Amino acid sequence: MSMPVPLFAAVGTIHGFPINIIRRRNAYFKVSSSMDHHNLSKVKSNSLRVLEWDKLCHSVASFARTSLGRQATKAQLWSLDQTFQESLSLLQETNAAILMHNHDSFILDLTSVDLALVESAIKHARRGLPLDANEAMALLSLLQFVEALQLSLKAAIKQDSDWYKQFMPLSQMITQLVVNRSIIKLIQQVIDEDGSVKDSASSALKKARDQVRTLERKLHQLMDKLIRNETKEAALMVASSVDGRWCISSGTDQPTGFKGLLLSSGSGSIIEPLAAVPLNDELQQARVLVAKAEADVLLMVTEKIQMDLDDIEKSLRTAIQLDMIYARATYSLSYGGTYPNIFLPEDIDGPLMAEPYRSKEKNSQASNPKKEWIFYLPKAYHPLLLQQHREKLSTARKNVRSAAAEIRRRKMQAENMAVKGEAEIDLSSLQKQVRALEEAPPVPVDFFISQKTRVLVITGPNTGGKTICLKTIGLAAMMAKSGLHVLSSESAKVPWFDCVFADIGDEQSLSQSLSTFSGHLKQISEIQLQSTRRSLVLLDEVGAGTNPLEGAALGMSLLESFARSGALLTIATTHHGELKTLKYSNDAFENACMEFDEENFKPTYKILWGVPGRSNAINIAERLGVPSTIVANARELYGAASAEIDEVIMDMETYKQKFQELIKECRHYLTMSRDLHEKLLVSRRKLQDLGAQQRYKKMRELSEAAAVARSTLHKKKKLLSFLRLVIRCMFHPLAREQQF
């Protein structure tokens, strides 16, 4: 007889698999999911690091005015985990803060509020512990800040009710806060501006402090009397407080004329006179009473705010959020940022975007970029380069001012001419540095990437700015996602990316003994696995670090893979000429190159779109003084190796140029024909209008002539009738008599 199957075993058998197999399988998928998440976090953090996102986060956070605001700003920017709607909300907050700043009546600067002390006060109050005076003053500053904001908002809305909508969502955020005015009054009544509890806070405190002052006065008088009685050593004696007890300090160890307790000796002595001991004991007791009375006052304040702790904590969290928004807004104002119109790439009918902030001074037609661009970023600056240039310029100008002040000082003090001349030479050198920095600001770059482009290949010389371009576009995408304005000349059009992946620089891992090439390959492999159809991928010098032919083949394969099923947009820099040809076999590819000034042998840091770049390494080597024989041999070898590719590229570029010229010519003729058609239509309308006017004029003239003729005829008929009557009267008297 077979044994019955246990219930748990029967339940645990699913499609013939025992429960332990199912558990192991589920555990495997949990571990696998955890590993995937770990890999994503690692490749994401590596990407943020090589793009120097942490430096930009620190730069933006420095505009916050509180320590908690700076911490929160860094955390919010670094996470980059916002959804599309959250990114829109962050941008709306930044815009509202800029509007408030321009309104002049709003103060979002939280410098005067110590939010860390407010947070400590809330924690103490929740635990039933009394606040200290500094915490109470910090809480008072927060409540006054919120109250001032609400009053400013009410005044603005009273002036123009439309401001409430324009300041959204900050207006809603501010109006929802609750401030208990009685707490403000209580703290002002019991805490002084210097953070001490007022004497008037309670009768017990006033009595205890009066007692302390009285005892201290008596002790001072006693010490003065004892010191005056010491005729020999009086000049070396001074009254001082040691651990709260008044004593006499002497510069020598000689015996004194009064009895006392020796507290310290050596290079001098500290003595508590016996006559002062009772007074010191009373003083200690009085100070205990003062501390107890102060604690009672602060406990009263604590009990008062405990009823409103939720509202106070909400005000604290809102203040931290406002400080974060203030940091983003002031960063944008400081560096001249513009509103980015972000959109979801699948929105074919038109981008979903927030209402852009437009200044009253500028109404650029480019605020709504053309729909054919998936990425429209005109004259964009690398934010860290711009910051670095400004800091250098500021330091140089400061040095000039210091040098000029030093020269003025030396002139006033009539120092020797040789030293004065050296100072003037230093000033001239510093002024040249300032002029050099002013004349060489960072060069902005244009990014106009069409909707159909999936992979952009950028070529160009070393130190030509390719890597800076990659970082610029990556930082711009992340800035837009995190609610920051981008540093471009016009309102940009930026896709919302779920993640920005980057492989830039030397990412070799010494712990795993990987070569430079292997390190890059591992990073790119992880990017390929983790990227989605909403990701941005940035690859620097793809296919580099190995045999050129193999590197080019691998680079082509990688980019074709990204074009087929990889990220929404992949931007790669390269030196491999073979990668330039991908554009001519796949419409998803586009070429661009960094412009190089061949006359002056230096890069211009500008992007030429649709043009494959050429390497200038040999020309640069010649300029740097490499022997001519080596340069000539290199040119010969390079020409033999790349002539076929260059010939194909040149033919294609020539064909493309002719094609573009024909298109331009066709567009020109089309424009001319449209203009001619418009002119013909206008002429036709004019002729029709002229004919109608002429007909109307003739009809009016005929009508007027007919009216004149009828009037004349009528007058003549009347005249004729009158003449007939006169004649009849003249020749027939009887008729005349009858008539008259």
665-698 residue pLDDT tens: 888 888 888 888 888 888 888 888 888 888 888 8
Whole-number Cα distances in Å, 216 to 219, 228, 250, 285, 625: 5, 18, 20, 13, 85
- Using CA atoms, how far apart are residues 258 and 231, in angstroms rounded to an integer? 12
**pLDDT attached to residue 231:** 54
- Give a three-class secondary structure readout of 501-532: EEECCCCCCCCCCCCHHHHHHHHHHHHHHHCC
Whole-number Cα distances in Å, 604 to 376, 464, 613: 21, 7, 13
Indicate if the pLDDT at residue 510 is higher than 90.
no
* Residue 153 in tokens: 């908002």
CATH number of 200-303: 1.10.1420.10
351 versus 698: which is more confidently predicted? 698
141 versus 611: which is more confidently predicted? 141
* Residue 589 in tokens: 């590819």
**pLDDT attached to residue 194:** 85
637 versus 571: which is more confidently predicted? 571
Lowest-confidence region among 369-383, 406-420, 722-736? 406-420
Instruction: Give the residue among 294, 106, 59 at the shortest CA–CA distance from 195.
Output: 294
- Most trustworthy range by pLDDT among 25-34, 364-373, 508-517, 626-635: 626-635
* Residue 346 in tokens: 């699948």
- Using CA atoms, how far apart are residues 483 and 475, in angstroms rounded to an integer? 12
Beta strand residue intervals within 306-371, DSSP E: 340-343
How is the chain split into domains, by residue range?
Answer: 7-38, 200-303, 386-439, 445-614
**pLDDT attached to residue 71:** 95
- Using CA atoms, how far apart are residues 105 and 528, in angstroms rounded to an integer? 51
- Using CA atoms, how far apart are residues 397 and 391, in angstroms rounded to an integer? 10
Lowest-confidence region among 115-124, 298-307, 660-669? 660-669
**pLDDT band, residue 570 (cuts 50/70/90):** very high
**pLDDT attached to residue 27:** 41
**pLDDT attached to residue 98:** 92
> Are 130 and 298 a contacting pair, CB within 8 Å?
yes
> Are 166 and 96 a contacting pair, CB within 8 Å?
yes
Beta strand residue intervals within 387-473, DSSP E: 445-450, 455-459
**pLDDT attached to residue 267:** 64
**pLDDT attached to residue 63:** 95
Q: Summarize the confidence of residues 5-33 as an average pLDDT.
A: 37
Indicate if the pLDDT at residue 335 is higher than 90.
yes
Indicate if the pLDDT at residue 545 is higher than 90.
no
Instruction: Give the residue among 439, 324, 331 at the shortest CA–CA distance from 383.
Output: 331
Name the burial class of residue 125, with classes exposed (0-12), middle (13-18) and buried (19+) by CB atoms within 10 angstroms of its CB.
buried
**pLDDT band, residue 594 (cuts 50/70/90):** confident
**pLDDT band, residue 4 (cuts 50/70/90):** very low
DSSP letter string, 54-102: HHHHHHHHTT-SSHHHHHHHHHHHHH----HHHHHHHHHHHHHHHHHHH
Q: Summarize the confidence of residues 578-591 as an average pLDDT.
A: 83
178 versus 253: which is more confidently predicted? 178
Percent of the chain at pLDDT exceeding 90:
28
Contacts of 148 (CB under 8 A, 6+ apart): 107
**pLDDT band, residue 21 (cuts 50/70/90):** very low
- Using CA atoms, how far apart are residues 306 and 640, in angstroms rounded to an integer? 84
436 versus 324: which is more confidently predicted? 324
Give 685's Cβ-side CA count (13 Å radius): 6
Indicate if the pLDDT at residue 3 is higher than 60.
no
> Are 580 and 591 a contacting pair, CB within 8 Å?
yes
Name the burial class of residue 558, with classes exposed (0-12), middle (13-18) and buried (19+) by CB atoms within 10 angstroms of its CB.
buried
Phi, psi of 461, deg, nearest 5: -75, 165
Tally Cβ neighbours within 10 Å of residue 407.
16
> Are 282 and 245 a contacting pair, CB within 8 Å?
no
- Using CA atoms, how far apart are residues 235 and 446, in angstroms rounded to an integer? 79
Q: Across the chain, what does the average pLDDT equal?
A: 80
Indicate if the pLDDT at residue 150 is higher than 60.
yes
438 versus 548: which is more confidently predicted? 438
**pLDDT attached to residue 576:** 76
115 versus 165: which is more confidently predicted? 115
Indicate if the pLDDT at residue 474 is higher than 80.
yes
Domains 200-303 and 445-614 share a fold: no
- Using CA atoms, how far apart are residues 553 and 566, in angstroms rounded to an integer? 18
CA angle in degrees (0–180, nearest 5) for 525-528-531: 140
What's the CATH class of domain 445-614? alpha beta
Beta pairing, strands 535-539 & 569-574: parallel
**pLDDT attached to residue 53:** 95
576 versus 93: which is more confidently predicted? 93
Instruction: Give the residue among 138, 480, 454 at the shortest CA–CA distance from 316.
Output: 138
Intra-chain end-to-end CA distance of the chain, in Å:
161
250-288 residue pLDDT tens: 766 566 666 767 666 656 677 788 888 888 888 889 999
**pLDDT attached to residue 649:** 61
* Residue 253 in tokens: 């160890």
**pLDDT attached to residue 582:** 83
**pLDDT attached to residue 341:** 92
Edge-first strand order for the sheet with 373-380 is 340-343, 492-495, 373-380, 445-450
Q: Summarize the confidence of residues 406-435 as an average pLDDT.
A: 72
**pLDDT attached to residue 56:** 95
Lowest-confidence region among 302-316, 555-569, 594-608? 594-608
Instruction: Give the residue among 310, 324, 323, 73 at the shortest CA–CA distance from 177.
Output: 310
Indicate if the pLDDT at residue 135 is higher than 50.
yes
**pLDDT band, residue 567 (cuts 50/70/90):** confident
| b (16+ CB within 10 A) / e for 393-404 | beebbebbeebe
- Most trustworthy range by pLDDT among 10-14, 287-291, 727-731: 287-291
Element (H, E) at 270: strand 269-273
Q: Summarize the confidence of residues 83-112 as an average pLDDT.
A: 89
Indicate if the pLDDT at residue 12 is higher than 50.
no
Indicate if the pLDDT at residue 431 is higher than 70.
yes
